[in-house]
Amino acid sequence: MPETNVSFKLCDILLPREQIRKRVAELAGMINSEYRNERLVLVGVLKGAVIFTADLARMIEDSIDVRMDFMAVSSYGNSSSSSGAVKIIKDMDTPALNQNIILVEDIMDTGLTLSYLKDMLMARNPKSLKTCVLLEKPERKKVECAIEYRGFEIPDEFVVGYGLDYAGRWRNLSDIWRVVEG
């Protein structure tokens, strides 16, 4: 991975782990009431949503037949802002046809990536397709994209932790931190 000339450092905690855990449980509760006794495919967007997807899956009731799958896209690289271009690096293995799918994303910045993925998955004729996004930055939105399950709205700041990274660093942090240049 190429190095950049800009470096970042942790500033302060934006969302503490207890608040994240509580909200993930609330999102799982909404999913539980909607999909009870059904089959559901959670499609996590790698790498940022892997922790969120795993925590969400563990909180979904046993009455729901949950499958997990993943997609990997590239739109950020080492940059702190979206490039706008989306490239599929890994597609989901589960056929989408007639499946209840929840697309699980770590953060919606501009909406371009999520909108692209939703359009692509809708073309595969799922039974239903909804989105579950941990973080949304409304100020950065460039395209409208419905989010059925939203964790938190956050200000337009660069954040890391709970799966989010900067150049591969800080995904492992349990809290979500603001980072600043420095």
Catalytic residues: 109
- The one-letter amino acid code at 167 reads A
Q: Which two tokens stand for residue 119?
A: 């359009």
- What residues have CB less than 8 Å from 60, skipping those under 6 apart? 28, 31, 32, 35, 40, 66
- What residues have CB less than 8 Å from 22, skipping those under 6 apart? none
- The one-letter amino acid code at 41 reads V
* SS3 of residue 143 by DSSP: coil
End-to-end CA distance of the chain: 20
Give the residue ranges of DSSP H helices in 67-160. Answer: 112-122
Contact 104, 53 (CB under 8 A): yes
